[in-house]
Amino acid sequence: MNLLLPSALIALLALAIPLLVHLVRQTQQKRIEFAALRWLVARAQPRRRPRFNEWLLLALRLLLLAMLALWLAQPVLRGHPDLRPWVVVDPDIDAAHMPARTSKDAQWHWLAPGFPSIDKPAPPTSASIASLLRELDATLPKDVSLTAIVPEQFDATDAQRPRLERAVTWAPVPGTSAFSASAARKSMRIAAFVDAEHQAALPYLRAAATAWSSQTKPQAPTNSLRAIPDAAALHPDDTHLLWLANTTVPAQQQQWVRDGGTILLAQDSPAASLDWQTAQVTWRSADGAPLALRMSDGKGAWVRMLVPFTPQSLPALLEPDFPVVFQDALQANPPIATRAWANTYSPVVDAQAVHAIQSPRPLGGLLALLIALLFGIERLVAMSMRRFRSA
C-alpha cells in the first residue's frame, strides 16, 4: 500500500483530542457539602496516575481519527504484476497452422480489440495490427515477454513498422489476412443516368459495382449501381449519381449535391456554373496524369472526369484494381498501401516508446465505509454509556 498524500498524516495529531477530553471529564468532581465535615481541613491527596474508565469508547474514537487521517492521505494498493508471457494470435490464421501450446504458463489471446482469450471463438476484426501491438505493449507490465503469431501476409498495416518498448517474438505462419482495405470503405448506392453516347461505359461501371458488393462485409449494406431513365428517378438512399450525358444537371440534383450527395460528370458533360479552378485531382493514372477532379459543394462534392470511359482513353478500366481506385475517386479516399509481408513488418525495439504505468487501485471508498461503520459503533457505545451513568 502507498500513500498519494503522506503529508496528510499530520492529522494524526488530532489523536490528542479524545485523550484530553477523557482526562478532563475524569478530573471534574462535583462538590457536596456535609455539615459534620464542614470545618475539617482538607489533606493533600497523593498524586495518582491517570486512569481511563471508558477505555472502549476512547479506543473507538482514537481509531476513528486514525482512519480519517489515513483517508486524507489517499492510500492506494499496488498489486503484484502478472509476469506470465503473452502469446497473441491473429484471428485470420487457419486452424491448421495454429502452433501448439508448448508453454503451460503462457497466456494465449486473440490479436483483436479487447484481446479475448484464445479459448473463445475467433472475433472478426479489421483493426490495425500495429495499433493493437502498441496498445498491448503499453498495457502489459514491462517485464512480460510477448509473442505475436501472424499470417505471412496481412492487411491493415501502418506506413511504418511498429516501434515498441519490448522485443517481440515475431512468428509468421502460412496464410493471408482476410481483411482488405476495400472492405473498410463505406457502402454506396449509385444511380447512373447514361445517354446513348455514353452507353459503352455502363458495362465497366456495373462490373466495378459487382466487385464492390463481393468485397463488402455481410452485415454491411450492399454496394449497388442502377441505371435510371431521368434525374427525377433518384432514390432518397442514393449516395452517388453518375451523370454521363451531354445535358446539364437539373437544379434539383444540384441542390441534392449541396445536401450531401456526390455527382460524377463525364468529360463532356456541361459543368454548369461550377468553378473548376479550385478543384483538386482525385484520380491519377499510373504515370501520374490526372484523370478526374473533385470539388466540394456544400455538404457534397462534384467529380469531373477528364478522359472518356473507354479502354483507349482510360486503360485503367481493364486493370484488376479498377474497382478499388474508382471507388477511392468517388469517396475521396487516398490510396492506402495496407498489405505487407510479415517478415518485413516485424516490430522495432524503441527504448523511448511510451509505456503506460499500471494504475494503482484507490482505497478511499473502502476506508470511507469503514469510517462510517466506526462512527456508528462509536455513537452506539457513547449513548449506552450515558444511559448507564444516568441510571
How far apart, in whole angstroms, are the C-alpha atoms of residue 273 and residue 60? 86
Task: Identify the residue with better confidence: 155 or 104.
Answer: 104
Alpha-carbon span 247 to 311, nearest angstrom: 23
Contact 298, 258 (CB under 8 A): yes
Instruction: Determine the Cα–Cα distance for residues 173 and 88; give it in Å rounded to an integer.
Output: 13
Of 168, 22, 143, 157, the C-alpha closest to 88 is 168
Q: How many CB atoms lie within 10 A of CB 267?
A: 16
Residue of 87, 86, 170, 155 lying closest to 125 (CA atoms)? 155
Helices (H), the chain: 16-27, 55-72, 129-139, 202-215, 251-258, 322-331, 364-390
The whole-number average pLDDT for the span 219-226 is 56
- Tens-digit pLDDT profile for residues 294-351: 888 888 889 999 999 888 989 888 888 888 888 888 877 544 455 677 777 888 887 6
Q: Which amino acid appears at position 28 of this protein?
A: Q
CA dihedral 324→327→328→331, nearest 10 degrees, is -160
Which of residues 375 and 382 earns the better pLDDT score? Answer: 375
Is 135:75 a contact under the CB 8 Å cutoff?
Answer: no
- pLDDT of residue 377 exceeding 50, the answer is yes
Q: Judge residue 5's burial from the number of C-beta atoms within 10 Å of its C-beta, 0-12 exposed, 13-18 middle, 19 or more buried.
A: exposed
Q: Over 70: is that where the pLDDT of 382 sits?
A: yes
Please state the domain extents for the chain: 2-36+51-79+361-390, 86-180+340-349, 186-331
pLDDT tens-digit readout, 226-257: 788 876 778 878 888 898 988 888 888 888 88
User: d(Cα 137, Cα 139) in Å, to the nearest integer?
Assistant: 6
Q: What is the pLDDT of residues 9-57, one digit of tens each?
A: 898 888 888 888 777 765 555 666 666 666 666 666 655 555 656 788 8
| Cα separation, 308 vs 194, whole angstroms | 13
Question: Which residue pairs, CB below 8 angstroms and at least 24 apart, start in 383-389?
Answer: 385/54, 385/57
SS (H, E, C) 340-362: EEHHHCCCEECCCCCCCCCCCEE
Q: What pLDDT score does 370 carry?
A: 92
Query: Model confidence over 174-203: pLDDT tens digits?
Result: 876 654 444 445 667 888 888 888 888 888
Predicted TM-score (pTM) of the model is: 0.42
Place of cell 505487407: 340
Half-sphere exposure of 237 (CA within 13 A, CB side): 9
The Cα 50–Cα 29 span in angstroms is 15
Nearest 10 degrees: CA dihedral of 217, 240, 293, 155?
0
Hey, how many other C-beta atoms are within 10 angstroms of the C-beta on 185? 20
